[in-house]
Amino acid sequence: MIGQRVAHYQILEQLGRGGMGVVYRATDLKLERQVALKFLPDVLAMTSGALDRFTREARSAAALNHPHICTIYEIGEHDGRPFIAMELLEGRTLADQIGGRPLPIGLSIDIALQVAGALDAAHASGIIHRDIKPANIFVTGSGVAKILDFGLAKSVAAAPAGSPDGATTADEGNLTGIGSTLGTVAYMSPEQARGQELDGRSDIFSLGLVLYEMVTGRQAFAGETTAVVFDGILNRTPQAPSEINSDVPPDLERIVAKAIAKNRDERYQRASDMAVDLRGLRRTTDSSGAVAAAKSSTTVSPAWPSATLPHAAPPAPAPVPRRSRRSWLAAAVAIVVLAASGVGYWQMRG
């Protein structure tokens, strides 16, 4: 399609290709600006489910006006293929930026803060993203984070109360398959993995997993099969971030732990609550991104929940101090001596 004209857009180059779309750089000939055009892949263009998701993405994102959500300009069609015209972003996805290595602590906090603000705005509008992951967070060259891909977004008001959230799908590269659970397996909340009704706390869990990956360079729940990943999400506690990256301060570890609590009633109840704690922690960072003040802070609660081990052996009794054993022996000898003296005295009187 390079060089072709689509409506009032001139296609310049292909920027990327994924499971749910092909993205091109184009020039808006009316407004004389560059935009990104996203088309459905040919194999999905005629699939009703893919078309519904594509349209849902455009409508959900277009309903939100936030500096950290990619702006949607319009939705159109060319030769039977629907497309979305959106804001052109220069930079790379957070997944590419992490690349298996931890990011600086200050940068990780900044990105999490921006995403939390965007999620708070979406949730306030009754929209749950349901697929927050590093690949759906774009970071511009100036460090601005933008949430992408609202294709799995769901209006909270649209779902009947108590209804399950439907089938789930996941990306190939993240152990997901058509017909199971909506979202990407490695970043699902426990309630999402169970197919339960969702609210904004599911996105908060996913953001907690993203923050974990930013500061450690690793996914919190990884595995070679979907079953292994699901088991981790539902039943396991991941390794403490500070054990992987010694630069992670206890207060940041506590924020991650609260965000990924398996019981959603124990998580942050709103993204804005998580943002408050992140903002407080960010104030303690210096210009280089080190969190020196936070690392020295002390609180009663542990920074990371310890994993419970089934059938753990009871603790061994404490050894009796040597001094206590000597005292007991001396007391026993004294009793014997007193008893012998008493017997002798009684015999003398007799």
Sign of the CA dihedral with 303 first, then 229, 184, and 13 last: positive
The candidate with the shortest Cα–Cα distance to 118, out of 69, 58, 187, is: 69
Give the integer Cα–Cα distance in Å for 15 and 26. 10
Which of these is catalytic: 131, 171, 203, 277? 131
Looking at residue 49, its amino acid is G
Chain centroid to Cα 51, Å, comes to: 28
- Is 131 an active-site residue? yes
Listing DSSP states for 114-181 in one string gives HHHHHHHHHHHTTEE-S--SGGGEEEETTS-EEE---TT-EEGGGSPTT-----B---GGGT--TTBB
**What number of other Cβ atoms are within 10 A of residue 306's Cβ?**
8
Strands (E), 31-144: 33-39, 72-78, 81-87, 91-93, 127-128, 137-140
Long-range pairs of 146-149 with CB within 8 A, sequence gap ≥ 24: 146/68, 146/69, 146/70, 146/87, 146/89, 146/118, 147/68, 147/69, 147/70, 147/115, 147/118, 147/119, 147/122, 148/70, 148/93, 149/20, 149/57
On whether the CB atoms of residues 232 and 262 are closer than 8 A, the answer is: no
Task: State how far the Cα of 114 lies from the Cα of 143, in Å rounded to an integer.
Answer: 10
Quick check: helix, strand or coil at residue 281? Answer: helix
- Residue 147 CB burial class (10 angstroms; 0-12, 13-18, ≥19): buried
Distance CA 82, CA 93 (A): 24
As annotated, the active-site residues are: 131
